[in-house]
Chain A
Amino acid sequence: MQLSESHRRYWRRNLRITIVLILIWLAVTFLPIYYAQALNRITFLGWPLAFYMGAQGSLIIYVLIIGYYAWTMNRLDREHGVQED
């Protein structure tokens, strides 16, 4: 089967989106853990910041990452004519 230029561009854009989102996931997960002791000296609405990230902040960003990915990929599918319906 032959892939068109549009197909290749679709896959490259998908890879770029995936890599950026993975980097965001890595950053919001592991940076607050690594610097937890320093971050905990900052208070955010009553929570020490590292505790807040582990208990709530990072989780909210996870939901946003997945929601953004679903939304943007479904749009990308249509732009490149690879959508299912």
Chain B
Amino acid sequence: MPNRQSQFNRQLRRMYAWYTGGFVLFVVLLAIGEQLGMPSQWIGYVFMFATIALYAGIGVMSRTADVSEYYVAGRRVPALFNGMATGADWMSAASFIGLAGTLYFSGYQGLAFVLGWTGGYCLVALLLAPYLRKFGEYTIPDFLGARYGGNLARMIGVGATILASFTYVVAQIYGVGLITSRFVGLEFEVGVFVGLAGILVCSFLGGMRAVTWTQVAQYIILILAYLIPVVILSTKVTGIPLPQAIYGQVLEKLSAKEAQLFTAPDELAVNTLYQQRADDYAAKIRGLPASLEAERTALTARLETLKVANAPAKELAAAEMGLRNMPRDEAEARRIWGDALKQADAKARPPQPHTAAHAGRNEDESDTRRLNFIALVVCLTVGTASLPHILMRYYTTPSVKEARQSVFWSLFFIFLLYVTAPAYAVFAKWEVYDTLVGTTIASLPGWVASWGKVGLVKIEDINGDGLLQLAELSLNTDVIVLATPEIAGLPYVISGLVAAGGLAAALSTADGLLLTIANAMSHDVYYKVIDPQASTQRRLVISKALLLVVALVAAYTASLKPDSILFMVGFAFSLAASAFFPALVCGVFWKRANKQGAVAGMLTGLAVSLYYASTTHPFFGGDPSNAWFGVEPISSGFFGIPAGFVVIVVVSLLTPAPDQDTQDMVENLRYPRLDGGRQGGDSDPGAY
């Protein structure tokens, strides 16, 4: 049916071209509205609810009761559109809001994320996507079950899918709550459930089909929202609207500015004051528990003197506050003072220059940093090529050929954002270093106060000179992207656009993940293991019910605001990489790999990864001093992946080769068309 497919492609192009034009017009109208005096609160509301209503509309239009449509969008998503959908699926709240901020603070060291999250697509393209498309079933555990004969491998796959995807989806819903609460002024918990409704309308009625077409729409919004502010900023700073090509020059100026700022006498004086504060806290912590009592006595005495001296109410209130916020016991004191010590210590010396690579105090420390950079890139790269919600997308193209092209488009669309993020960071840093630092604190721009209110910007005039030194300014990572429109002095409509983009990024990733978890449970556990005779209708009902349950559990978890969410997300990459990658790659490229080897390899990979993280990360009660070669717990896959490979190979060789049917199946995967073999390129739903 090539004709029907190409007609469908033309229709899609026309539809999304109109859609993009419509969205731009919508933004322009709001901008005119703002000039005519529309309040910014309203602009926030309109952006939020108009975009969610739009996604809901696409979701309702794409409702389906067909299994193939529900699980793999009917396998007729063209390469280009699958690329956009994968882009939106891939780029989460963390990429959209957090990445530029991370690059702002860690400079070169932050590039590990950029390299890992894009390089992973090389592995997807070369080792997995075309073969999974040829296999042509519904989920990743499906592949493990078929290739490694039976339900054991399938169930381990389901377990790893849920483990990796659930932490990730909680982080997305958390991001939705953050954006809605900041820009619309809803309570965080209410925002979480509004976001949840937005996620459910997309996926509930139409499964993969609805998720695919909303993700394409969400990609268009998120990429426009990411590029527009930085293009305007670039034009403002350099006169050239191509930030990615021109920021090298700004980086040169920034490096000169850093050299000058980091050695300025005022700046060094501020550093010394922070060093003294850090030393004070260190002394207090050493003196525990006696120092806690001494501190309380001192504060009480001070309050008394102030009262006797009839001090102004403001000073009295501050002293009372200090007393009220005293740590209650030794453990709390250790934690609170420890945090304060860390914060002061970070400001006791100038930050690393933006481009410094693997800088440490000595040779050993530099080597450890370099090793950690490499380990993180390995884990993020291999993890990218192992996350089920991404791999699943390549089941939805019409053919193997389009699956290959689709990885190209995926990376191209992802590349647009990731290549812009470092530019974003440099422009924002330049604005802060060049215009903000050195101004009088009384005349700081309005965004400092408005983001200060929500605790994302802090200013402390520690040396009391009334001027802002670099070390006196604390910025939260998220604020870089969220506040750049204001930093650059752009109208509020651009801020609303950025919020809508962040929302699109979080919603689209959450949709893909929820669907992946629900499908693993309904398709792999219920249909393939519990009740293989289940009717189509029953399978879909179960699938939708599970989707609802998983979504509610995830939203509930997010509303508890777990504070180690970022670590968990990074860790999900290590887990997925250790569990899936060796078994998937050996499944295609090594016919001799068998069931025993795969099961043992997946379990070993998972176990090593979990064990390493649990002995080295405080979250699990571990201690960083247990680390091997100083590798950080987030990169536990650095050991889990090779362990998985070794065990698959050794155990497979010690046990009998897989049977002829399995070997034939592997041959079949390797050729887009093999006469006499099973064909996977069918777009007729009846064939399933």
Contacts and interface: CB of A to CB of B under 8 A. Distances in A.
- Main DSSP-derived SS at the B contact region: helix
A51 B370 CA distance: 14
A64 B111 CA distance: 20
A1 B408 contact: no
Interface in B238-275: 244, 248-252
A36 B358 contact: yes
B385 to A, nearest CB: 11
B370 A33 contact: yes
Interface residues of B, number: 56
A48 B111 CA distance: 13
B67 to A, nearest CB: 23
B53 interface: no
B108 A58 contact: no
Contacts of B125: 65-66, 69-70
Contact of A73 (B119, B130, B399): B130
Contacts of A34: 370, 374
Interface stretch (B70-78, B158-166, B181-189, B666-674): B666-674
Contacts of B377: 29-30, 33
A40 B355 contact: yes
A1 B415 CA distance: 42
Contacts of A3: 667
Interface of A is mostly: helix
Interface size class of A (residues with CB under 8 A): 35 or more
A54 B404 contact: no
Query: Which of B108, B115, B356: most chain A Cβ within 10 A?
Result: B115
A25 B120 CA distance: 10
Contact of A66 (B356, B407, B671, B681): B407
A34 B401 CA distance: 36
Contacts of B122: 21-22, 25, 62, 65-66
Interface in A43-73: 43-48, 50-52, 54-56, 58-60, 62-63, 65-67, 69-70, 73
Contacts of B119: 25, 29, 58, 62
Interface string B668-688: 101111101100010000000
A63 B415 contact: yes
A52 B248 contact: yes
Interface centre among B122, B127, B415, B668 (most CB of A within 10 A): B122
A59 B118 contact: yes
Contacts of B490: none
Given A33-B373, A58-B119, A62-B121, A83 B355 contact: no
Interface string B340-355: 0000000000000001
A79 B408 CA distance: 22
B418 interface: yes
A77 B677 CA distance: 16
Interface string B267-303: 0000000000000000000000000000000000000
B311 to A, nearest CB: 53
Given A21-B126, A30-B374, A73-B404, A59 B415 contact: yes
A73 B676 CA distance: 22
Contacts of A59: 114-115, 118, 415, 418-419
Contacts of A18: 126-127
B206 interface: no
B2 interface: yes
Contacts of A50: 108, 355, 357
A17 to B, nearest CB: 8
B408 A54 contact: no
Contacts of B358: 36-37
Nearest to A52: B248
A42 B449 CA distance: 41
Interface of A: 1, 3, 7, 10-11, 14-15, 18, 21-22, 25, 29-30, 33-34, 36-37, 40, 43-48, 50-52, 54-56, 58-60, 62-63, 65-67, 69-70, 73-74, 77, 82-85
6 contacts: A18-B127, A22-B122, A36-B108, A62-B411, A69-B126, A84-B400
The 7 A-B pairs at the shortest CB distance, nearest first, are namely: A46-B248, A36-B357, A54-B111, A55-B422, A70-B404, A47-B248, A66-B125
